[in-house]
């Protein structure tokens, strides 16, 4: 976690417009505080599947839900320090990606040249949109690495990919392999939760997750941390040190 990296940019690919807040809000706030440029791509607004509270109003329409979810995500993004959003509006439940969207995301990779990428778990039997977002984010990364796409100079290197914590990790074959200490930005992450009026039922749930990972982070280190955010690695970490 050095701030002297050549590319001080991070990319988060979120299936629905709120996923990045619960699962990666701490990482975004932490790196934003360090002066990094953070881009969040939301493949959908979660308008059908993750907006239950809004649909209690029987006069609700899909367009109004989308607008409300986008506004919430932007407000939360402002709290966390997101520099820019890419709203792909591909629909949810089901989320279906296409070639045009793949090229758009590959262009984002090539212009941003992120030092790391955060996205969903590989599996999620409760939600097929999440693994689809992961597959898509990884395919776009590989496409952006191709020298024949826009020439060798445009091709990106190999930014590490970290998979953020799914709602029920055991069912998703997801294991924490990295616990990020988000204690110093916890208040910011919690404030971002509070912008998500449509999913108020998750505020306390994800506060408990952060506390749990915080306790485990302290147990696995010398850190006096209280709040954590866990990730699974896709690729091996390449380093010259064990520490």
> Which CB atom, from 16 or from 213, has the smaller least distance to Zn ion?
16
Q: Select from 34, 54, 12 the least CA-distant residue to 201.
A: 54
> Which CB atom, from 14 or from 183, has the smaller least distance to Zn ion?
14
> Which CB atom, from 120 or from 227, has the smaller least distance to Zn ion?
120
State phi, psi for 181 to the nearest 5 degrees: -80, 110
Q: Residue 50 CB, nearest distance to Zn ion (Å)? A: 5
Tokens 């990919």 found at: 161
Evaluate whether 21 touches 74 at the Cβ level (below 8 Å).
Answer: no
Q: Cα separation of 18 and 25, whole Å?
A: 10
Q: Residue 19 CB, nearest distance to Zn ion (Å)? A: 4
Q: Cα separation of 239 and 77, whole Å?
A: 32
Q: Residue 132 CB, nearest distance to Zn ion (Å)? A: 11
162: exposed, middle or buried (C-beta count within 10 Å: 0-12, 13-18, 19+)? buried
Q: Cα separation of 21 and 151, whole Å?
A: 35
**By beta-carbon distance, which residue lies closest to Zn ion?**
16
Report the 10 Å Cβ neighbour count for 18: 26
DSSP helix/strand/coil, 13? strand
Size of the site for Zn ion (CB under 5 A): 3
| Residue 195-214 contact track with Zn ion, rule CB under 5 A, x = bound | --------------------
Q: Residue 15 CB, nearest distance to Zn ion (Å)? A: 5
Q: Residue 71 CB, nearest distance to Zn ion (Å)? A: 18
Of 11, 13, 19, 25, which lies in the binding site for Zn ion, with binding defined by CB under 5 A?
A: 19
Evaluate whether 213 touches 140 at the Cβ level (below 8 Å).
Answer: no
Kindly provide the b/e burial profile for residues 215-225, where b requires at least 16 CB atoms within 10 angstroms of the residue's own CB: eebbeeeeeeb
Q: Cα separation of 229 and 23, whole Å?
A: 7
> Which CB atom, from 40 or from 143, has the smaller least distance to Zn ion?
40
> Which CB atom, from 80 or from 144, has the smaller least distance to Zn ion?
80
Q: Is 16 in the site for Zn ion (CB under 5 A)?
A: yes
Q: Residue 211 CB, nearest distance to Zn ion (Å)? A: 22
Q: Is 23 in the site for Zn ion (CB under 5 A)?
A: no
Q: Residue 187 CB, nearest distance to Zn ion (Å)? A: 24
Q: Is 227 in the site for Zn ion (CB under 5 A)?
A: no
Contact window for Zn ion (CB under 5 A) among 17-25, 55-63, 82-90, 215-223? 17-25
Binding site for Zn ion (CB under 5 A): 15-16, 19
């Amino acid at each position: 976690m050095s701030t002297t990296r050549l590319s001080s940019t991070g990319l988060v690919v979120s299936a629905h417009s709120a996923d990045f807040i619960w699962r990666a809000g701490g990482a975004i706030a932490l790196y934003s505080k360090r002066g990094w440029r953070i881009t969040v791509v939301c493949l959908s607004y979660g308008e059908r599947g993750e907006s239950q509270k809004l649909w209690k109003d029987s006069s609700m329409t899909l367009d109004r839900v989308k607008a409300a979810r986008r506004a919430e995500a932007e407000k939360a993004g402002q709290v966390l320090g997101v520099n820019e959003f890419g709203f792909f509006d591909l629909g949810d439940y089901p989320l279906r990606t296409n070639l045009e969207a793949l090229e758009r995301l590959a262009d984002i990779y090539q212009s941003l040249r992120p030092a790391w990428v955060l996205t969903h778990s590989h599996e999620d039997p409760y939600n097929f949109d999440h693994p689809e977002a992961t597959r898509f984010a990884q395919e776009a990364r590989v496409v952006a690495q191709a020298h024949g796409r826009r020439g060798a100079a445009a091709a990106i290197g190999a930014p590490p990919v970290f998979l953020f914590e799914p709602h029920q990790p055991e069912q998703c074959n997801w294991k924490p392999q990295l616990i990020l200490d988000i204690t110093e930005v916890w208040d910011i992450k919690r404030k971002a939760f509070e912008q998500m009026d449509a999913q108020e039922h998750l505020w306390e749930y994800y506060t408990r997750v952060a506390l749990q990972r915080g306790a485990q982070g302290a147990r696995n280190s010398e850190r006096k941390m209280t709040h954590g955010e866990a990730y699974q690695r896709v690729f091996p970490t390449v380093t010259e040190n064990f520490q």
